[in-house]
Amino acid sequence: MVAMPMPYALVFSVLTGTNGNVRGVTVKLDLTSDPIELTAALVDVPSVSGEEQELADAVQAALADQAPHLEVIRSGNTVLARTNLGRAARVVLAGHLDTVPINDNLPLRRTGTGAEQVLHGCGTVDMKGGDAVLLHLAATLPRPRHDLTFVFYDCEEVDAARNGLGRIERELPDWLAGDLAIVAEPSSAVIEAGCQGTLRVEVRTTGTRAHTARAWMGANAIHGIGEVLRRLESYQARQVEIDGCRYREGLQAVKISGGVAGNVVPDECVLTVNHRFAPDRSVAQALEHVREVFAGYEVVLTDSAGGALPGLGAPAAQDLLAAAGGTAKAKLGWTDVARFGALGIPAVNFGPGDPTLAHTQQENVPVAQISRCAEVLRRFLTD
C-alpha cells in the first residue's frame, strides 16, 4: 500500500470572515489533470444522493472556467454542457454525480503502483471514474468530430422519480437529443450495449381461514402457492441475440408473504416475482408472457421499466465500436441507457470499474481501466 497524496486535481479554498471564522469551503477541480487523479479528486468530495450540491457546484465552476468552448447550464444539482459546432452528428455523454451512502470507505485510498495502481473508496466504481473521464474530455476536446453534450446528473441511486435525467427530459428535452448516448456506468471498460427490461408482479392465492385444529374446514393459501413455485422451478428462460449481443432472461421469486397466526389456516399468500427480459420485448409483451406462465392465478403488475435495444448498427455506434476494438456485450441489467432508448437514441454503457463491486464497501477501480476508457473515447471523438 502507498500513502495517498493530495490529488493535484483538487484544491480546497477556505473562506474566512473578518473575525477569522470559517465561512465556507470551495472545491476547485482541475479538469485538465490526468483522469486518474481527477477520479481521486471527485471521490474525496462526498455526494450521497440528495447531497450533491458541493460536487455539482465544483463541476459547474470548473466547466465554466476551464471549458470556454462549452455552453454550460444548471438544473438543480444537474450540470449540463455542450458544444455547438454544427457537426453532422451529436453524442450525449452522461454520468451521475451521486453515490450510495458512505460505508466507512472514504477518504480514498490507493494500493499498488504505476499502471497496477487501484483506487478504493465510495464512488470509485459507481461512477466517479466514469465522471472523471467525461469531465476531462469536456475540458480538453474543444473541436471534436461530433457535437457533444455532457450531462452530469443527480439522484440516480434513489427513487426513479427523483432521477435528474427524468427532470431534464421533462424540462430541457433538447439537451438529451443526439445520435448516440454513452452512459459511463461501470462496465469493466468494455462496451455494454442496450440493457434488459425489468418488471415485478405479485402472484396471489386465496383460501379460507380456519383453526389449525380443524384445518379441513379451511383452505390453506400458502399451500396453494406451491404450483406457482413449481412452475418457476421448471421455467426455461430465453436467450436472445441482438446485434451480436446475447441477452439472458430470468424469472425469479424474490419475496413471499402470508400467514395470520401460529394456529390459523392462512387465507392469503402473495409471491413477488421479478422478470428480466430482453429488449426485443416491450413491457406489455413481457407482462403478457408472465401472465401466460402463471395462467389461472391472479397476477398484478407492481413495477416495470422497459429495456433498450443495443442499436449498434447506428453509424456513430459503429465508430465507437471500432475505437474500442470491435467488441461489445449485452448489458444484463437495467441502466439509464433505457431512458435514451425510449427517446429513440441508441445507447451504450461504457465506463471503468467492475459493476459487481458497485454499492459495496469494497468498491475499487484499477487505474488502467480509467485510462482505457479515456483513450477509447478520445479516439472515437477525434479520429
Residue positions annotated with a catalytic role: 98, 156
The H or E element containing residue 374 is: helix 367-382
Q: Give the three-class secondary structure for 325.
A: coil
All cell numbers assigned to 332: 444484463
Rounded to whole angstroms, the Cα distance separating 297 from 299 reads: 6
Q: Cβ distance 14 to 25 under 8 Å?
A: yes
Greatest alpha-carbon pair distance for the chain in Å reads: 83
Separate counts of helices (H) and strands (E) for the chain: 10, 21
The H or E element containing residue 26 is: strand 22-29
> Running DSSP on this structure, what letter comes out for residue 241?
E
The H or E element containing residue 285 is: helix 283-293
Rounded to whole angstroms, the Cα distance separating 161 from 352 reads: 27
End-to-end CA distance of the chain: 38
- The closest alpha carbon to 358, from 194, 131, 160, 157, belongs to 157
Please compute Rg for the chain using Cα positions.
24
- The closest alpha carbon to 147, from 189, 183, 175, 186, belongs to 175
Rounded to whole angstroms, the Cα distance separating 228 from 212 reads: 23
Q: Give the three-class secondary structure for 329.
A: strand
Rounded to whole angstroms, the Cα distance separating 323 from 287 reads: 38
Angle between helices 129-140 and 53-66 (to 10 degrees): 20
Q: Cβ distance 208 to 345 under 8 Å?
A: no
